[in-house]
Amino acid sequence: MLKKTWIILLSSAFLSIFSASSAICGSKTNTSTKAYKIGVGDILSIQTWKEDDLSFGAVVVRNDGKITFPLLDDLPAEGLTTVMLKTQIQEKLSEFVEAPSVTVTLVNPVSQRYYILGEVQQVGEYPLVKKLTVVQAFALARGFTEWASKDNIILYRRNGLEETMIKIDYDDIVKGRLNKDILLKADDIIIVP
């Protein structure tokens, strides 16, 4: 009888965790369809078909958000998608090249970083190369030190001029409240006291 009770309890706990993670994953797939916006420091590859002089393996987006391109001078790149930048380059190049075919590829997303400080094994700056949650960030930082206060973790987030402070309770997430495992955004700062 005791064994059956444990099996039922474990099964219901698993189902509630599975349902919560399915809900979170469902919302992640909706946000993952958003196109990547080019940022300062990103490295792009720009290839113009049959035009070696107009093809470059590593173009860095400058601090002013622009790139330099032969014949076209400085072009704004920050905030655009690779498709938008490709269209802009093709339109401007059409004055100099007949029917230009341009490919813009993101080589290194340097602008997409987050930071983790405090009582973790490995503090520092980390690339935001995929959809990461707070718990995954802790795993990349190799976990907590023995002095970490896991119920007082703070996430600082900037949205333009607005700054938000979000309290993260790791123990709540571990207990199955997966809706509290927040997706990270570029320039987020996690502090583990």
67-121, pLDDT tens digit by residue? 999 999 899 999 999 999 999 999 999 999 999 999 999 998 888 899 999 999 9
> Which two structure tokens, joined as six digits, stand for 55?
């093809």
3-state helix, strand, coil in the chain (%, to 5): 30, 30, 40
Above 70 in pLDDT, residue 19? no
pLDDT at 22: 39
Above 60 in pLDDT, residue 17? no
pLDDT at 11: 40
Above 80 in pLDDT, residue 46? yes
Query: What residue ranges define each of the domains in the chain, with the CATH number in brackets?
Result: 43-108 (3.30.1950.10), 112-193 (3.10.560.10)
Whole-angstrom distance, CA of residue 118 vs CA of residue 73? 44
User: Pairing relation of β-strands 43-48 and 56-60?
Assistant: antiparallel
Helix (H, G, I), strand (E, B) or coil at 143: coil
